[in-house]
Structures are given as structure tokens and as C-alpha cells.
A = this chain, B = another copy of it.
Amino acid sequence: MTAEETVTGVDAGGGRPVVPARGAQRPLGFAEVRVTGGFWAGLQATNADATLEHCESWMERLGWLANFDRVASGATGPDRPGWSFSDSEVYKLAEAAAWEYGRTDDPAADAMVRRLTARIAPAQDADGYLNTCYGHGGQAPRYSDLETGHELYNTGHLLQAAVARLRTTGADELVDVARRAADHVCAEFGPDGRQGICGHPEIEVGLAEFGRALGVGRYVEQARLFLDRRGRGTLRDVPFGRAYFQDDVPVRQATAFRGHAVRALYLSAAAVDVAVDLADDELLAAIARQWDHTVERRTYLTGGMGSRHQDEGFGEDWELPADRAYCETCAGVASVMVSWRLYLATGEVRYADLIERTLYNVVATSPRADGRAFFYANPLHQRTAGGGTDHDAVSPRAEGGTRAAWFDVSCCPTNVARTLASWQAYVASAGHRELTLLQYAPARIATTLDDGDVLAVDVTTAYPADGTVTIRVADAPAHAVALRLRVPSWAGGAVLSEGGRTRVVGPGFAVVDRPLVPGEEFRLVLPVAPRLTWPDRRVDAVRGCVAVERGPLVLCAESVDLPSGSLDDLIVDPSVPPVARADGAVVRAVTGDEIPLVPYHRWAERGPSAMRVWLPAR
């Protein structure tokens, strides 16, 4: 332990993925937010019942788990199975299982964490280095390929898994392993160590949160060091250019998220963490500025980010092709990470708006209803129906159209799993004397305000199928507190009823600031009638098209719903308003036919289908 190390104490509970040192809003933990039903509870249940085991069995089958055993036994070699980042999938699964155990106390989830830890821990070297692809038995030396080796990336995910364990169960062997790994990274890459960075950001966000969770300031400092080193061209140039891994321009000087989308977003999440904890307002403002630019000009209607398959990257401003949209599922997860951190730092509603859009239309789109197949890319237009899923095969491709059981590069399933297992984190936040509801789901939300008073509400809703959200006060102090309800930016004409009074509330936060009475109810009605959305005229790819949204859901047309079985000739008549039907809508084609639209997140669930979000309009 170095002289400058500060240890402020272990944050051993709370179940919160992100706990900044300061900020406009305080995140709530699992004990404070219990989701009791609805859309997301269903996805969480499937995640718990199917996806976790599905991921573990594929990683066992492919030898990604056995890679740890072979390092431990000294039997590994240069020809190990899996990419250099396969270790991270094991860590992400451990993280998911840890959150799941925290959420439900399901002993099966706890057993999975222990089982994975028992495979991981013996592979750690005496000095804390832990990697199954480098540095053992004829493999390339440690840190010999910072550009593509993913060593620190893997470690970052190990630290995030340990954070989940720390914040749900408390310190255990996984946390000990992570601590040794983090110390190794600090020793190796510290101020006097290798002046390098990892080609794939992730260690930064892992170190920052692990430092927060353990109260070890040195880890946050190391994250800052990595961030400061970035953008100075220390990584080798690659055909895609150094923007691919954000080593072209220092973080605080960039104007937009750029290059590989997941890399850019993990890096930005870490930058917010460091900015907040180390009071670097300039850095925070830089990321907020980049977010604004990116969300205006480089983000799809679904919240998806990444326009290019070529480098899994952001394209240029307004380069948003529907058909070749990459919109990697992991970029959706990473976007939520960035927006959540910016929300906590600033309390600004636009971040929560984008989180909702991305959760419903990217994260929820990836897993098939049974939780055993996943979209990797999430295009907004599929010209030809994909093939069926081969349940027994690894997909070598990240194309859209068909959810695959597993991928050669299989980052998305475990990323979905850890996000769903910790989904309740995004439901609400608290301020000094206020509670803010951000995402609407049936839930009991109870927190202790800063002054020690307890405020508890029960939420009932069929959102997003229905726009009515009822909030019943369960417990409240006698003095005035603020209950703040997010009104999404699309929800013009929302109405809030309390007692006999009803008022229109505009997008932003609808606030009730007075003493609340246990038993009293508020009713927020968000207009979820289908609505037409026209694109910015600068988006060339969808000029002359219109989309239909319903509440937070982007809708789409599927060829399986058309009598012709084809979307090639579809032109809609936008003068006829779309009409709600089931959980989607119906629009009128210029031929007079009624065209059913379904939620985008459920497309290709009824077999291979062509699909369009943006519909050519007369």
C-alpha cells in the first residue's frame, strides 16, 4: 500500500452497480427497489431461469472455462480455444450471477458465482496477473500486444464482477482475486510503470468502481492515469485508424463518441466516474458535450449506436443507415452505463430518457423470448429474412436477422445477462429530500432520505402496453418531500392526477412537493397511442420515410404480417393516423391495405422475417 492510498471503507451492501463519490442523484440499491412484475420482471425471470445456465454451458462446451483449469495445472499452451477476450465472458457471467443472487437470494445463482470463482482463482499468478491467453506455457508474453490482446479489458470485467459480489454478498474469494489483479495492474501500469493503455477500454470503469466499492482511492487514480494516457497515439496505428480505440484525441478534447462503439462508451463511462470522484468538472463537461453531439447525430431511433459493421463503430454525423445499422447489443448496454453515470452526476432527465429508449429497443431486443438466443447486431431494416437459429452451433457472424445461440465473439449474451440481473438499478434515484421515479414498472420503492426519514411507494402499471402508472404512498415523513416522476420527452399531453385534481405535465420531471400521506395515490397517464416520427432531414438513409412509435417502443413492420410476404412494395399513407392494435399498431398503405406493426424488440420471434422500422411514406 502506497503512502497516497486512501481507504474509506468497504461498501459491502446496497446492490448498486454504480456508486459515485458525489452527484446530483443517489442511486438506489436492490433492497430499496423491488420490481414485482411487468415487462422487465419477465425478462429478468427468463434471464435467471435460462440465460445464465445457457451461457455457462456454452463456455464449458467451448473450453473457455477449461482455459482457467489449464493455466492452473500448467497444461495450457499457445493454441487455447477462444479469443483473447474469452476470459471476460466468464467474468461477465459471474457478475450477472452475483447481481441475480443479490436480487433474488436464489442459491443457484450464488452457487454459480462460487463455481466460476473456483475455476478462475487457481489460474491467478502469484503476482496477481490473471489471464489464460498470455504469459503461460508458450503463449505470447504478458502485455506484448496492448492493441488487441485485451488483457486489461479482461481484468476490468473481473473487477466489475467483484463489485457485484461486494455489493450483494460482501467480500469473498472472487473479491480477493480481483483485489490482487487490481494491485498487479497498479504496480505494472502505475505512474512509474509501463506507460501503456489497453486497446479496449474497460479496465478504467472496472478500477473506478472497484476502488469505490473497496474505498481504495489508488484504483480510481489508476483509472484516471489510463484515461489521461489515452488519445496520445501510444497504441500502434491500425487500418481503421487510432480513433478505433480512441487513441487519436485525448478524452477531454474529443467532440463526439467515435470509433468502435463499445470501446468509446466503456471509456466514456469511466471518464464520468473519474470526473465525478476526482472533481474534474472539465472532463465531466467534455463527456456531456460528446453525449449531446452523439445522441443528436450518431444515434438511431432505437437508441442504438454504431453505424458500421466494418469496425463495429460510429460513423460520421448523420450516417445512420437502417439496413446496415450495426447497433451492437453491447453498445446498447454500454450506452446505458454512460447515460446512467451522467444522470447521477447531473440529474438531467435526457439521460434517463435515452436509457429507457435503449433498454426497450436495444437491450430487450437481443434475447429471444426463451433467453437462449441473442441478436448481436440490431439493424432497423432487414431486407431478406434471416435463416433459422441453429441451437447447436456457434455463429461466426454478427449479422442481423437471426438470433444465435452463441457467437464466435460472444460478448452480447453475458452483457445482456448482467444488465437484466441489475435492471432495477435504473428504476429510481434519490436526492436530499426527494425520490425520483425514472423507469415505470410494478415495484415497491423504499428508501431512507438523507435526514433519516423513510419514503416508500408502491407502483402499479401495465406500462409500456398501457400508459397509466399508479403510485401509492406506503410510508412518508410528516414534513414535505418531493416525489418526482419522469415524463418522457415523447409524452406530450401527459396527465398527473392526485386526489381529485388533474393537471397536464410536460416532458421532464412532474413534481409533487408537499407532505405525503400514506395511502394516497398519484396517477400518471403517459400517452402511449401510436405516433408518427419523421427523421431529421440530414439522415440521408431514411429520407422520405416515417417510423411509428408507441410509448417507449419503436414499432416495425415484418414481412410475415404482410399478405404478399414482402416489404419491397410497402408505401404508407401518413395522412391516416396509426391506430393501436394489440401491443403494436396498424398503419394504412397507399394501396389501402392495413399494415400491422409490432414492437421492434420482438421482431423475428415468429420465424425469419424481413423487417422495416422506417417505412417509405407517400
Q: How far is the CA of A324 from the CA of B322 in the complex (A)?
A: 13
**Interface digits, A73-97 against B, CB 8 Å rule (1 contact, 0 not)?**
0000000000000000000000000
A616 touches B (CB below 8 Å): yes
The answer to whether A316 touches B383, judged by C-beta atoms less than 8 angstroms apart, is yes
**Interface digits, A527-555 against B, CB 8 Å rule (1 contact, 0 not)?**
00000000001101111110000000000
Instruction: Determine the residue in chain B with the shortest Cβ distance to A312.
Output: B310
A543 / chain B contacts, CB cutoff of 8 Å:
543-545, 616
Instruction: Determine the residue in chain B with the shortest Cβ distance to A408.
Output: B239
A545 / chain B contacts, CB cutoff of 8 Å:
540, 543
Instruction: Determine the residue in chain B with the shortest Cβ distance to A316.
Output: B383
Which of B310, B317, B324 makes the CB contact (< 8 A) with A321?
Answer: B324
Instruction: Determine the residue in chain B with the shortest Cβ distance to A318.
Output: B383
A397 touches B (CB below 8 Å): yes
Q: How far is the CA of A316 from the CA of B567 in the complex (A)?
A: 15
Q: Considering the complex, which residues of chain A in the window 303-346 have a beta carbon less than 8 Å from any beta carbon of chain B? A: 308-310, 315-319, 321-324
A519 touches B (CB below 8 Å): no
A513 touches B (CB below 8 Å): no
A241 touches B (CB below 8 Å): yes
The answer to whether A317 touches B241, judged by C-beta atoms less than 8 angstroms apart, is no
The answer to whether B323 touches A324, judged by C-beta atoms less than 8 angstroms apart, is no
**Interface digits, A376-409 against B, CB 8 Å rule (1 contact, 0 not)?**
0000010110000000000011000000000010
Give min CB distance, A319 to chain B, whole Å: 6
The answer to whether B538 touches A541, judged by C-beta atoms less than 8 angstroms apart, is no
Instruction: Determine the residue in chain B with the shortest Cβ distance to A614.
Output: B540
The answer to whether A540 touches B309, judged by C-beta atoms less than 8 angstroms apart, is no
The answer to whether A540 touches B381, judged by C-beta atoms less than 8 angstroms apart, is yes
A321 / chain B contacts, CB cutoff of 8 Å:
321, 324, 541
A520 / chain B contacts, CB cutoff of 8 Å:
none
* Number of chain A residues close to chain B: CB under 8 A: 34
The answer to whether A537 touches B309, judged by C-beta atoms less than 8 angstroms apart, is no
Q: How far is the CA of A396 from the CA of B311 in the complex (A)?
A: 14
Give min CB distance, A404 to chain B, whole Å: 13
Which of B308, B317, B540, B616 makes the CB contact (< 8 A) with A541?
Answer: B540
Instruction: Determine the residue in chain B with the shortest Cβ distance to A384.
Output: B316
A542 / chain B contacts, CB cutoff of 8 Å:
540
A5 touches B (CB below 8 Å): no
Q: How far is the CA of A544 from the CA of B618 in the complex (A)?
A: 11
A237 touches B (CB below 8 Å): yes
A568 touches B (CB below 8 Å): yes
Which of B241, B309, B318, B540 makes the CB contact (< 8 A) with A308?
Answer: B309
Most buried by B among A238, A381, A384, A543: A543
Known pairs A537-B616, A568-B538; A397 contacts B544 (CB<8 A):
no
Known pairs A316-B383, A323-B319, A408-B239; A544 contacts B544 (CB<8 A):
yes
**Interface digits, A396-432 against B, CB 8 Å rule (1 contact, 0 not)?**
1100000000001000000000000000000000000
Most buried by B among A538, A541, A614: A541
Give min CB distance, A580 to chain B, whole Å: 27
Q: Considering the complex, which residues of chain A in the window 543-574 have a beta carbon less than 8 Å from any beta carbon of chain B? A: 543-545, 568
A239 / chain B contacts, CB cutoff of 8 Å:
396-397, 408
Q: How far is the CA of A239 from the CA of B317 in the complex (A)?
A: 28
The answer to whether A540 touches B322, judged by C-beta atoms less than 8 angstroms apart, is yes
Q: How far is the CA of A317 from the CA of B384 in the complex (A)?
A: 9
| Residues of A that sit less than 8 Å from B by CB | 237-241, 308-310, 315-319, 321-324, 381, 383-384, 396-397, 408, 537-538, 540-545, 568, 614, 616
Question: Could you give 7 example pairs across A and B, Cβ below 8 Å?
Answer: A241-B396, A318-B383, A321-B541, A323-B540, A537-B616, A543-B545, A544-B544
Q: Kindly list the 7 A-B residue pairs having the minimum CB-CB distance in the complex, ordered from nearest.
A: A544-B544, A543-B544, A309-B310, A310-B310, A316-B383, A239-B396, A543-B543
